[in-house]
Amino acid sequence: MTVIIAITGALAILGLAVIFGADVVGVLVQRSVYADLDDRTLVQVVGRGHYYADRRMPAIGIPATILTALTAAAAFLWGSLLTGILSSVGLVLLVTWLLVYARFAKPINTALTAAALADEVPADARALQARWEALLPLRVTLIGVTIALLAATLALI
């Protein structure tokens, strides 16, 4: 039954890698690009980016989260105590990532999306973007460690 752990874990890693990559691009590239834009362009680019991402990324993130939970359950059932713990800690970190997103990032996404679609520039557009960008190192760390823990789980089965 370790094949179930292998399949769910590998698919979870693939899904989480998409989200991890998007956050890493935010850290390495987008922050610098956005700093060079005027406020109107910033709101249009960021707001419309969130518009599409908030509609499309759940199709990746929800299955990846479910697969992470299934991996943790399967690792306890058919793996070892260690693989169960590793994948469960990964699940806790992923849920933490989701809470950070829902509590802090999503409201910013919503505000910038609404402004972009209304062709408005909020007075606090730069402050909103700065708060969103400040979350990126934490998000990258949480999801990166989750991926590493799932990979360790797979290595140990």
| Model pLDDT for residues 102-141, shown as the tens digit of each residue | 999 999 999 999 999 999 999 999 999 999 999 999 999 9
Name every residue whose Cβ is closer than 8 Å to that of residue 28 and which is 6 or more positions away in sequence: none
- In terms of Cα–Cα distance, which of 71, 78, 76 is closest to 151? 71
d(Cα 74, Cα 57) in Å, to the nearest integer?
A: 25
Taking only the tens place, the pLDDT of each residue in 75-102 is 999 999 999 999 999 999 999 999 999 9
Instruction: Give the three-class secondary structure for 129.
Output: helix
Could you give the angle at the alpha carbon of 18 between the alpha carbons of 148 and 145, nearest 5°? 20
- Mean local confidence (pLDDT), 21-47: 97
- Average pLDDT over the chain, rounded to an integer: 98
Per-residue model confidence (pLDDT) at position 45 = 98
CA–CA distance from 136 to each of 75, 101, 131 (Å)? 30, 10, 9
- Mean local confidence (pLDDT), 132-156: 98
* Burial tier of 57 (Cβ tally within 10 Å: 0-12, 13-18, 19+): middle
- 10: confidence class by pLDDT, cuts 50, 70, 90: very high
- 40: confidence class by pLDDT, cuts 50, 70, 90: very high
Could you give the angle at the alpha carbon of 153 between the alpha carbons of 59 and 143, nearest 5°? 45
d(Cα 131, Cα 36) in Å, to the nearest integer?
A: 17
Per-residue model confidence (pLDDT) at position 46 = 98
Name every residue whose Cβ is closer than 8 Å to that of residue 38 and which is 6 or more positions away in sequence: none
Per-residue model confidence (pLDDT) at position 120 = 98
> How much of the chain exceeds pLDDT 90, in percent?
100
